[in-house]
Amino acid sequence: MLTVIIAVVAIILLTILIVWLIDKFVPKKIKPLIHLVLWALIIYLGYITFMSVYGEIQFNKLKDKRYAIVIERLQDVRDAQLAHKEVTGKYTDSFDNLIKFIDTAKVPITQRRDTSIVDEEATRRFGGVETLKTLVLIDTLGYYTVKDSLFKGKDTYKNLADVGVGKEGAKFELKAGTLDDIPVFEASVDKSIVLFDQDNNLVNKEKQTVSVDGVNGPTITVGSMTEVKTTGNWPKNFSNQ
């Protein structure tokens, strides 16, 4: 956009210079008509410059608003996946399975305690001198449901796959697997789906973002299939999580 603005400003300055030259060297009879055309051109170019700046400002406001919705939903996906891994030891690549898990899964509430018992083998080895050994016991105190823990009794998790904004009916892409025998997952949506109704030039520019305060790359993503991580590719100003 900066290149466009510089070009338009240069054209405006050139046009003003032409007006001055005409005023100096063109016969008086045709000056009014030429002046009218040139000033109309200056106004038009000024309007284009303003709209290019204003259009991008409006695009960024709408983009940030939609991204906030998408990121909040991706955080729900991330939290559900972490609970799934805690219970099953792995992530899932199916939203149907993930939703079913949220509906039915219970996570044990445990308490660790140490206790001492007689070590019979050591006691014999030391000629009958009673020797103790310590054991770690895990007591199950109860269970909590994933649904109530993550969603506070709400049923919004039933639409966990929905992007929630942008192109109607859009769904997140969900992958899961292992990386060096470590479970990994990735949930993502292409920015062009979230911004489907916006100017293509601005959308394509946004997909090339590389910035510390921007959502980098062509997608909004949480997790990764190439790195062991569960964070998203958005900066802190989009989320506190």
Confidence of residue 39 (pLDDT cuts 50, 70, 90): confident
User: Do both 93 and 39 map to the same domain?
Assistant: no
Is residue 197 predicted with pLDDT exceeding 70? Answer: yes
User: Do both 62 and 96 map to the same domain?
Assistant: yes
What's the one-letter identity of residue 88?
T
Model-wide pTM > 0.75: no
User: Do both 164 and 210 map to the same domain?
Assistant: yes
User: Do both 39 and 83 map to the same domain?
Assistant: no
Query: What per-residue confidence (pLDDT) applies to 126?
Result: 75
Residue labelled with tokens 């695009």: 59
The Cα–Cα gap between 19 and 38 comes to: 7
Confidence of residue 82 (pLDDT cuts 50, 70, 90): very high
The Cα–Cα gap between 119 and 122 comes to: 5
Query: What per-residue confidence (pLDDT) applies to 71?
Result: 96
Residue-range definition of the domain harbouring residue 51: 2-55
Do the beta carbons of residue 147 and residue 65 sit within 8 Å? no
Is residue 25 predicted with pLDDT exceeding 80? Answer: no
| Burial of 119 (C-beta count, 10 Å sphere; 0-12/13-18/19+) | middle
Query: What per-residue confidence (pLDDT) applies to 26?
Result: 67
Query: What per-residue confidence (pLDDT) applies to 122?
Result: 74
